[in-house]
Amino acid sequence: MDSGLKNQNKRLRTTHHPDNYPDDRLLLIYETLETKHDRDSFGLTCHNFLDIQSSSRKHLRVCSLINCHATNFLVFNMLNRFRNLDSLSLICCRGLLNSGLANLLLYRSTLQSLNLSYCSRVTDLGLSYVASGCPFLSAVNLKKCSSITNHRLQILAESCKSLKLVHLNGRSTVTDHGIRIWAKLKILDLKMCGDLVDDATILKIAKGCPLLQEWNLSYCYKIAISG
């Protein structure tokens, strides 16, 4: 084959290689894919396709990790790869340490929903990372996170102005002081908070959260008032 024709064919292959497509064109291609299988196959095509797939990921769920090193390393990698997540669920990741949540500070997360239920090693320090790293948070689940105190709940409320849904069920340290400053709160779950929630607590929360539309008070057996 003539060397000139070879060079021309080489230039054509280079020009049309996926790595040379602009990101906006790749994103348009990705958005036309309807099935998970097609989207996963898209990400395996080349590095640029994988980057587009990662940046388009909005929801991620990981559960039941108990090894501390592996859990924190995984959280670091997930936040590094998926920069535009709307929701992240780490339910029952008992190996998650506060240091794993510190990664939220590195990437200034756009998270709107975070589920840390049954992450029993997360303490006030971890919640402070959430408060600083997730300014757009509107929903958080802290079920069975018994080491978090009222003070950090207040800081979370002050930092995350859009908080509307909070799950605190099973918490052993919650009081009205940690809740009533959430002025925009619409849904509150206090299930199984035992004798820590009483009539006075309910009245204070109701006054401090005027937009509250729904709350779960089941198994809060010190409540006597109705309605």
pLDDT digits (tens, 9 = 90+) for 56-75: 678 888 887 777 877 888 88
Say what the pLDDT of residue 226 is: 64
Say what the pLDDT of residue 81 is: 77
Residues 207 and 120 occupy one common structural domain? yes
pLDDT band per the 50, 70, 90 thresholds, residue 10 = very low
- Say if pTM beats, i.e. exceeds, 0.85: no
Residue showing tokens 């069920």: 169
In a domain, 221, yes or no: no
CATH number at residue 65: 3.80.10.10
Q: Compute the average pLDDT of residues 125-154.
A: 90
Residues 128 and 141 occupy one common structural domain? yes
Domain count, the chain: 2
In a domain, 222, yes or no: no
SS3 letters across the chain? CCHHHHHHHHHHHHHCCHHHCCHHHHHHHHHCCCCHHHHHHHHCCCHHHHHHHHHHCCEEECCCCCCHHHHHHHHHHHHHHCCCCCEEECCCCCCCCHHHHCHHHHHCCCCCEEECCCCCCCCHHHHHHHHHHCCCCCEEECCCCCCCCHHHHHHHHHHCCCCCEEECCCCCCCCHHHCCCCCCCCEEECCCCHHHCEHHHHHHHHHHCCCCCEEECCCCCECCCCC
In a domain, 52, yes or no: yes
More confident residue, 126 or 199: 126
Say what the pLDDT of residue 31 is: 62
Residues 171 and 79 occupy one common structural domain? yes
Say what the pLDDT of residue 14 is: 45
Residues 39 and 71 occupy one common structural domain? no
pLDDT band per the 50, 70, 90 thresholds, residue 9 = very low
* Domain housing 65: 58-216
Residues for the chain: how many in total? 227
Range in 3-7, 33-37, 75-79 with the lowest mean pLDDT: 3-7
% of the chain at pLDDT higher than 70:
69
Structural tokens at position 152: 């950090």
Residues 122 and 172 occupy one common structural domain? yes
**Bridge partners of 220?**
none
More confident residue, 73 or 115: 115
- Other Cβ atoms less than 10 A from the Cβ of 39: the count is 17
Structural tokens at position 137: 């948070």
Structural tokens at position 186: 């619409």
Distance CA 7, CA 13 (A): 10
Spacing of C-alpha 135 from chain mean position? 11
Cα dihedral 187, 193, 196, 200 sign: positive
Q: Compute the average pLDDT of residues 123-134.
A: 94
